[in-house]
Amino acid sequence: MEISEQKVVAVIMVGGPTKGTRFRPLSFNTPKPLFPLAGQPMVHHPISACKRISNLAQIFLIGFFEEREFTLYVSSISNELKIPVRYLKEDKPRGSAGGLYYFRNIIMEDNPSHIFLLNCDVCCSFPLTNMLEAHKRYGGMGTVLVSAETANQFGELVADPITKELLHYTEKPETFVSDLINCGLYIFTPDIFTAIQEVSTHREDQANLRHLSTFEALQSPTRAFPLDFVRLDQDILSPFAGKKQLYTYETMDFWEQIKTPGMSLKCSGLYLSQFRFTSPDLLAGGDGTRSALIVGDVYVHPSAKVHPTAKIGPNVSISANVRVGAGARLINCIVLDDVEVQENAVVINSIVGWKSSIGKWSRVQADGDYNAKLGITILGEAVMVEDEVVVINSIVLPSKTLNLSVQDEIIL
Amino acid sequence: MIIERDHLFSESQFRSRQLSLLNSDHPQFHFLGVIKMKALILVGGFGTRLRPLTLSVPKPLVDFANKPMILHQIEALKAIGVTEVVLAINYQPEVMLNFLKEFEKKLGIKITCSQETEPLGTAGPLALARDKLIDGSDEPFFVLNSDVISEYPLNEMISFHKGHGGEASIMVTKVDEPSKYGVVVMEETTGRVERFVEKPKTFVGNKINAGIYLLNPSVLDRIELRPTSIEKEVFPNIAAANKLYAMVLPGFWMDIGQPKDYITGLRFYLDSLRKRSSAELASGSHFIGNVLVDESAVIGDGCLIGPDVAIGPGCVIESGVRLSRCSIMRGVRIKKHACVSNSIIGWHSTVGRWARLENMTILGEDVHLGDEVYSNGGVVLPHKEIKSSILKPEIVM
């Protein structure tokens, strides 16, 4: 019989500084998990989703960033949500499951019955309550959130259509395996720690028992990893598939991975459109008379000042202390803190970095292909675009001043 | 009064004569005016042209010929008896200040920082550092641009300055394409500056501002504490009063603020070491031309190194490696049979076996190029692994 007061905890993997070079140049000054999407730090979205689960005891953030990068955020979010949020720094790479195992004592402090494991750079609707109900019904060790294949990737897992059991898992297949992909969201019972330990022990036994010839030693795939390096996908999901231990829960909503700045713009838009249903008071409104004309889903930080003759949207996120001048036009962009967009400037399909300045009648734009290398124009921190200059499909590193127009370029 | 090179003495004899005067109680010691002189080095901003190297350290600390760029200037100033150097900076003061503490002790020279809170241009920083530069002694002070390398004939400049009795002296250098720069038009015999012409469309002269100045304290009265250009506002004023004189810089000159010029500058610098018969240059059958190797670097068998190569501390060059016209920073490992030319390899990077790097390939800090990879002008930002070839010049973020 289930005790109804059983607690749950959530663990969010936030990554580390040298791992995310794909997020440059935005990651030079801010850790990727704190980059704002729809006006809130990236990690805030999974955290607020977790808050909706009943009996949530604690939220843990696990990563390789220095503790001080997260101190302020963690203490302010703990206060705001009235729930303990803690940042745990990994001291060396142990793999996605190894890290979880390393902190097991802290995670199990409140004796939770279930543990949510989420990747910070996943953008989705976080159907955590429904997923937990399904997990309890299945009665297995773990449940993986899955999604029917998005256009350009091959699915990695095969699930039984009736029982929803995970039957087969393979990492980054080159041929068609299925149309289901791993969404990077899991629910586990505490048995997961035993399973991870078994993997380490098995590896150790193998190393001890076999007297490998030099040739065999080179061939053995597990030789490359230290004993406590356990990857969730290859070492847990794959071997435990088909053993009535792991199940799948399918989401029909949007799902994206936020790996590049371009994708962060797309995901910011997805969250903004979600606000229309979950928190419409966060979205801006205006008709061009006493405040600027707002089209579609737009977030404007309360401290930002937007001139009434500017037109903003759709899909625009404006951060703190931004000033948008008269006659400016912003479409599909993220404008970060302290930016000044001067009169009659146009910004389309771009991300404008903290403290930058967009000159009068200048134009910062891109094609809007979220997956292309230069499909979204990115201006790093403190970039000055002078009056009337045009910047198209380019990436500009921090502290540059552009006094000439550029197109299809990376400016160091 | 020494304006032209003294033809009776070779470069090295001239220099050693100067140094012996400095180190004695000879009355000429005071004639050279070496008592308690000060200098300002304009360090400025982010060094974006030297990215990706300047993504890891501030520009003045980027190594050139195995020494931080700014150390070349500080040592030249110390050698002629400057007792205090002020660094005018507007970026990463903490990193600079740590460096300074270390070198203040080692060099026995006082080093302070003057930090701009807003960019003040090329003259404003002088006004900002006014209190540090003026001490009532009326001695002229040097101003150096931190991107410049040259032989720093600062004693000759002092003699020139005292000789003409004007308010300010600047070094000028002859270039092939003066229209890319600001040209200094001057009277041939006295060196008195008539005017500055920015990027002239017709030929007005082939001497440009070399970024080395010797100024009387009265110049500071001409500079307001606001963004000001020394070439566009201050010097033209002094020239109009017939008080600005230019001396042609003897020896080599280079602005090494961007990678291509950095490599060219390395060639000039090593060449000047050769001319001075410096013992620092490497010799042996593995070396061609001018090569500088730090004593802690290790070089394997069958390598061919040079010309114009600098190999920094702790580097490991494995056997069968070919290096030419390149700068290898501290802690780099170049694996067997690799071939690197016209490139800069950043701190603690590795270059794989049989890799080939050329045509201004620049690896930032901690970049690892796999075995057999080819890079034609790849510019790679720090902390990356490169496993596939870069066939044409490209920035890898």
Would you call A401 an interface residue with chain B, using a CB distance cutoff of 8 Å? no
Q: Per-residue confidence at B2, pLDDT binned at 50, 70, 90?
A: very low
Per-residue pLDDT at B93: 75
Least Cα distance to B225 among B326, B146, B121 occurs for B121
**Closest Cα to residue A270, out of A260, A258, A281, A285?**
A258
Q: Tens digit of pLDDT for each residue in B112-159?
A: 888 888 888 888 899 999 988 888 788 999 999 999 999 999 999 999
Tokens representing residue A371 in the block: 């997956």
At residue B156, the pLDDT reads: 94
Residue of chain B with shortest Cα separation from A23: B397
Report whether pLDDT(A63) > 90: yes
Name the residue among B118, B138, B140 with its Cα closest to residue B40: B140
Q: Which residue of B has its CA nearest to A396?
A: B48
User: How many angstroms separate the CA atoms of A326 and A324, rounded?
Assistant: 7
What whole-number distance in Å separates Cα of residue A313 and Cα of residue A284? Answer: 10
Q: What is the pLDDT of residue B117?
A: 84
| Chain-chain contact of B397 with A395 (C-beta, under 8 angstroms) | yes
Which residues in chain A are contacts of B397 at CB distance < 8 A?
A: 21, 24-25, 395, 410
Per-residue confidence band for B26, with pLDDT thresholds at 50, 70 and 90: very low
The answer to whether the bond into B140 is cis (omega within 30° of 0) is no
The residue written with tokens 């200059």 in the block is A389
**Can you tell me the distance from the alpha carbon of B73 to that of B210, in angstroms, rounded to the nearest whole number?**
14
**C-alpha B141: how far from chain center:** 19
Question: Nearest CA to CA, how far is A389 from chain B (Å)?
Answer: 20
A397 and B384: CB-CB below 8 Å? no
Does the beta-carbon distance from B51 to A18 stay under 8 Å? no
Report yes or no: A390 at the B interface, CB cutoff 8 Å: no
Give pLDDT, residue A287: 85
- pLDDT tens-digit profile of B265-294? 999 999 999 998 888 999 999 999 999 999
Q: What is the mean pLDDT of residues B4-31?
A: 45
pLDDT, position A1 = 46
Using the Cβ of A329 and the Cβ atoms of chain B, whether some distance falls under 8 Å is answered with no
Residues of B in contact with A18 (CB under 8 A): 383
CB contact (8 A) between residue B395 and residue A398: no
Q: Best interface-test mutation with A: which of B50, B92, B381 has the largest number of A CBs within 10 A?
A: B381
What does the alpha-carbon distance between residue B288 and residue B17 come to, in Å, rounded to a whole number? 32
What's the confidence (pLDDT) of residue B25?
A: 45
Determine the pLDDT at residue A210: 56
* Residues in chain A closer than 8 A to B51 (CB atoms): 397, 412
Instruction: Give A22→chain B minimum CA distance, Å.
Output: 7
How would you class A194 by CB atoms within 10 Å of its CB: exposed for 0-12, middle for 13-18, buried for 19 or more?
exposed
Q: Does A24 touch chain B (CB under 8 A)?
A: yes
Does pLDDT of B10 surpass 50?
A: no
A20 touches chain B (CB under 8 A): no
pLDDT at residue A199 in the model: 86
Range of A142-151, A156-165, A193-202, B360-369 with top mean pLDDT: B360-369
Select, from the ranges A303-317, B107-121, B131-145, B218-232, the one with the highest average predicted confidence (pLDDT): A303-317
Contact (CB<8Å) B379/A412: yes
Which band of pLDDT confidence, cut at 50, 70 and 90, is reported for residue B188? Answer: confident
Query: Which residue of chain B comes nearest to A382, CA vs CA?
Result: B46
Cα separation of A298 and A315, whole Å?
5
pLDDT at B46: 81
Which residue does chain A place closest to B49, by CA atoms?
A412
A214 has a pLDDT exceeding 60: no
pLDDT of residue B103: 82
Chain A partners of B384 at a C-beta cutoff of 8 Å? 21
Query: Is residue B257 within 8 Å of residue B50, measured between CB atoms?
Result: yes
Q: Nearest Cβ partner of A24 from B46, B379, B397?
A: B397
| Choice between A213 and B192, residue whose per-residue pLDDT is larger | B192
**What average pLDDT does range A134-155 have in this prediction?**
83
pLDDT band, residue B199 (cuts 50/70/90): confident
The C-alpha atoms of residue B154 and residue B158 are separated, in whole angstroms, by 6
Q: Is A161 exposed, middle or buried (0-12, 13-18, 19+ CB in 10 A)?
A: exposed
For A323-348, the pLDDT digits (tens) are: 999 999 999 999 999 999 999 999 99
pLDDT at A202: 81
CB contact under 8 A, B48 and A399: yes
Whether the per-residue pLDDT at B202 is higher than 90: the answer is: no
- Residue A19 forms contact with B (CB below 8 Å): no
A25 CB near a chain B CB, below 8 Å?
yes
CA distances to A354, B120, B205 from A262, in Å: 17, 35, 50
For A253-303, write each residue's pLDDT tens digit. Answer: 999 999 999 999 999 999 999 999 988 999 998 888 889 999 999 999 999
Q: Give me the total of CB pairs closer than 8 Å, taking one residue from chain A and one from chain B.
A: 25
Q: Choose among B45, B48, B383: nearest Cβ to A397.
A: B48
Per-residue pLDDT band at B33 (split at 50, 70, 90): very low
- On the 0-12 / 13-18 / 19+ scale of CB atoms within 10 A, A360 is middle
* Cβ contact, residue pair A399, B46, below 8 Å: yes
Q: Is the pLDDT of residue B65 over 50?
A: yes
Residue of chain A whose Cα is closest to the Cα of B394: A410
pTM: 0.83
Average pLDDT, chain B: 88
pLDDT at res. B203: 87
Q: What is the mean pLDDT of residues B45-62?
A: 90
Lowest-confidence segment of A51-65, A176-190, A357-371 by average pLDDT? A176-190
Identify the pLDDT of residue A314. 95
ipTM score of complex: 0.78
Is the pLDDT confidence value at B23 over 70?
no
Do A21 and B48 count as a contact with CB atoms less than 8 A apart?
no
Instruction: Give A379-391 pLDDT, tens digit per residue.
Output: 999 999 999 999 9
Query: Cα separation of A156 and B4, whole Å?
Result: 77
Tell me the backbone φ, ψ of residue B293, rounded to 5 degrees: -125, 125
At A100-116, the pLDDT tens digits run 999 999 999 999 999 99
Question: Which residue in the set A18, A400, A410 is minimally distant from B397, CB to CB?
Answer: A410
CA A55/CA A4 separation, integer angstroms: 9
The dihedral formed by the CA atoms of A296, A301, A302 and A307, expressed in degrees to the nearest 10:
-60
Are A304 and A340 contacting, i.e. CB atoms less than 8 angstroms apart? no
Average pLDDT, chain A: 90
Q: How much is the pLDDT for A154?
A: 64
From the list B48, B51, B397, the residue facing A21 with the nearest CB is: B397
Instruction: Write out the residues of chain B at the interface with chain A, using a CB-CB cutoff of 8 A.
Output: 45-46, 48-49, 51-52, 55, 379, 381, 383-384, 395, 397
**Beta-strand pair A166-169/A157-159:** antiparallel
pLDDT exceeds cutoff 70 at A90: yes
Cross-chain Cβ contact B397/A28 below 8 Å: no
Q: Please give, rounded to a whole number of angstroms, the shortest distance from the CA of B53 to a CA of chain A.
A: 11
Which pLDDT band, with edges at 50, 70 and 90, does A213 fall under?
Answer: low
pLDDT score for B113: 87
Interchain CB contact of A28 with B (< 8 Å):
yes
**What local confidence, expressed as pLDDT, does residue A179 receive?**
80
